[in-house]
């Protein structure tokens, strides 16, 4: 692997990179940065989480002339969240060079953005609609742009931004460097490359690399009406540190987050109908560990850079395999292991086969845990909390009262009472989840996959418990939040392997 100090970057930039804790480049960075520094156009096929931002950001920052007060770099992103995330990372990467970076996006006060634009940012990151708005208001001038980046181009295509992008490209000088990144390469994206780029070099991260080898992938064959109880039992058994549940529709997300709350999990949902302030608030709480489970639609979760996600649950299998790749890419990052579990209705098995053909990896069948196994999982977590307290905490102040308890009660009864107090008994509170029709029958690969009749049948291997391998669990002690949301902020105590 190449070290960042070996690319010939400005010393100030290398200093900023080291401050962020990065030393060696990822594959996409190793291939992209030299081309970017040479000023060549580039098409990179890579998904979020591969290190794209530094791949295009470092060459862009290198070329910024600090004495030039004009916008010299423009990054177009599909969502507000991605625009904010990219601008924050560019700010950190250029910290020691003192490059001015600004994000502009819809759902935010435009007058405040106009005031910020008057402060002469040198790099602007924005969503297509808001960038066009500023162009039309003449508050954003792009006639000095030297580097243009289209990030997650396929998603911008899916969201209907292709005309906006073409309008923006007409405002940027022809003599510029253009870098386009996309997880997939449909024909309209290729046409953009042909029309607006000069002999671009193609960098491709293979599909099997895109799905992250560290992600364990499972499927559970389950009927629609049984999905929620299976999800509840999995959460009890696996006790994930941070989990994302993906639902197909906004209604699905709202109902799932409410139902999980009723079952004692700290859960919140995000989708396109929420206000920007609400979405940012939910994401902040999730990153801080105040929410156990984030429920999201595909569009709302695109571009999110959330570290520490251990489990992704696909409550509904996505209609296209590219969405599956994006979903599971939320976990298994930065060399850490992750787990993805997909619920598949019997009639949807053809979609599973299509996903497997795309990712070049077979998903393992998983047997749903029983309620007894879910309870056993919670008892194990409670036992480990007690063990942590015994080994790590100062118990001197409690021993006198403990001695009194031992005089009056059997030690095993006291231990059982502690377990009962700490363990979350599996909750079977009735909840309402509107049933969704399965995806239309599809034939996947050779033979009929749509009916799913005998396609590996969902049998085999029992449930898998990530915590057996010593992964972190919810911590304990003063101020910690139990799974019912009691107490103060959620704390985690990481266990070494």
Choose among 199, 145, 153, 151: nearest CA to 170. 145
**Structural contact between residues 71 and 103, judged by C-beta atoms closer than 8 angstroms:** no
Q: Mean pLDDT lowest for which of 28-42, 308-322, 384-398?
A: 384-398
Residue given tokens 């002690």 in the structure block: 477
| Average pLDDT value over all residues in the chain | 80
Q: Looking at the predicted structure, is the pLDDT value of residue 485 above 50?
A: no
Beta-strand pair 201-204/42-45: parallel
| pTM beyond 0.75 | no
Q: What is the C-alpha end-to-end distance of the chain, expressed in Å?
A: 25
**Within 13 Å of residue 16, how many CA atoms lie on the same side as its CB?**
22
Backbone Cα Rg of the chain: 25
Chain segment 275-284, per-residue pLDDT in tens: 777 888 888 8
Q: Which CATH number fits domain 4-205: 3.30.413.10, 3.40.50.300, 3.20.20.120, 3.40.50.2000?
A: 3.40.50.300
Q: Cα(317)–Cα(109) distance, rounded to whole angstroms?
A: 37
Superfamily of chain region 211-371+426-493: P-loop containing nucleotide triphosphate hydrolases (3.40.50.300)
Per-residue pLDDT band for 496 (boundaries 50, 70, 90) equals very low
* pLDDT value, residue 93: 94
Chain segment 287-303, per-residue pLDDT in tens: 888 898 999 987 677 65
Q: Looking at the predicted structure, is the pLDDT value of residue 254 above 70?
A: yes
Q: What is the DSSP string of 366-433?
A: -PPPPHHHHHHHHHHHHHHHHHHHHHHS--GGGHHHHHHHHHHS-HHHHHHHHHHHHS-PPP------
Q: What are the start and end residues of each CATH 3.40.50.300 domain in the chain?
A: 4-205, 211-371+426-493
Residue 287 phi/psi, 5-degree rounding, is -65, -35
Per-residue pLDDT band for 143 (boundaries 50, 70, 90) equals very high
Beta-strand pair 473-474/123-126: unpaired
Q: Cα(86)–Cα(109) distance, rounded to whole angstroms?
A: 19
**Structural contact between residues 124 and 74, judged by C-beta atoms closer than 8 angstroms:** yes
Q: Mean pLDDT lowest for which of 276-290, 329-343, 475-489?
A: 475-489
Q: Looking at the predicted structure, is the pLDDT value of residue 448 above 50?
A: no
**Structural contact between residues 340 and 214, judged by C-beta atoms closer than 8 angstroms:** no
Per-residue pLDDT band for 185 (boundaries 50, 70, 90) equals confident
Helices then strands, counting H and E runs in the chain, come out as 19, 16
Chain segment 114-142, per-residue pLDDT in tens: 999 999 999 999 999 999 999 999 999 99
Q: Looking at the predicted structure, is the pLDDT value of residue 249 above 90?
A: no
Q: Cα(330)–Cα(311) distance, rounded to whole angstroms?
A: 9
């Amino acid at each position: 692997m190449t070290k960042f100090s070996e690319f010939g970057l400005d010393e100030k930039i290398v200093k900023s990179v080291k401050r962020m804790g990065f030393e060696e480049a990822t594959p996409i960075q190793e291939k992209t940065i030299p081309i970017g520094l040479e000023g060549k156009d580039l098409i990179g096929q890579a998904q979020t989480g591969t290190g794209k931002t530094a791949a295009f950001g470092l060459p862009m920052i290198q070329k910024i002339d600090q004495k030039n007060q004009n916008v010299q770099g423009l990054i177009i992103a599909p969502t507000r969240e991605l625009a904010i995330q990219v601008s924050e990372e560019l700010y950190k990467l250029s910290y020691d060079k003192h490059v001015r970076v600004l994000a502009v996006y819809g759902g935010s006060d435009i007058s405040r953005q106009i005031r910020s634009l008057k402060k002469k940012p040198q790099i602007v990151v924005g969503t297509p609609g808001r960038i066009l708005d500023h162009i039309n208001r003449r508050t954003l001038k792009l006639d000095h742009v030297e580097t243009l980046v289209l990030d997650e181009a396929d998603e911008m295509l899916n969201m209907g931004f292709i005309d906006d992008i073409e309008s923006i490209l007409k405002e940027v000088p022809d003599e510029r460097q253009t870098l386009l990144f996309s997880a997939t390469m449909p024909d309209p994206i290729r046409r953009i490359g042909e029309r607006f780029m000069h002999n671009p070099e193609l960098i491709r991260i293979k599909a099997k690399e895109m799905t992250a080898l560290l992600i364990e992938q499972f499927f559970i064959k389950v009927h629609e009406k049984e999905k929620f109880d299976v999800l509840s039992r999995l959460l009890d058994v696996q006790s994930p540190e941070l989990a994302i549940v993906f639902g197909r529709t906004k209604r699905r997300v709202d109902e799932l987050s409410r139902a999980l709350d009723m079952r004692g999990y700290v859960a919140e949902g995000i989708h396109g109908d929420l206000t920007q302030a609400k979405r940012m608030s939910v994401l902040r709480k999730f990153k801080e560990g105040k929410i156990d489970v984030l429920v999201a639609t595909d569009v709302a979760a695109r571009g999110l850079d959330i570290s520490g996600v251990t489990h992704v649950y696909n409550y509904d299998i996505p209609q296209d395999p590219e969405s599956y790749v994006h979903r599971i890419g939320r976990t298994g990052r930065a060399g850490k292991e992750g787990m993805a579990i997909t619920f598949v209705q019997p009639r949807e098995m053809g979609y599973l086969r299509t996903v497997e053909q795309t990712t070049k990896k077979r998903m393992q069948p998983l047997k749903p845990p029983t309620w007894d196994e879910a309870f056993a999982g919670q008892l194990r977590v409670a036992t480990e909390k007690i063990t942590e307290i015994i080994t790590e905490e100062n118990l001197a102040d409690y021993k006198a009262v403990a001695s009194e308890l031992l005089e009056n009660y059997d030690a095993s009864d006291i231990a059982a009472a502690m377990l009962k107090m700490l363990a979350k008994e599996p909750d079977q509170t009735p909840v309402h989840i509107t049933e969704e029709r399965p995806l239309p029958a599809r034939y996947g690969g050779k033979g009929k996959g749509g009916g799913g009749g005998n396609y590996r049948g969902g049998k085999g291997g029992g449930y898998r418990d990530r915590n057996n391998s010593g992964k972190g669990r919810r911590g304990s002690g003063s101020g910690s939040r139990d799974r019912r949301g009691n107490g103060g902020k959620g704390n985690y105590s990481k266990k070494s392997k």
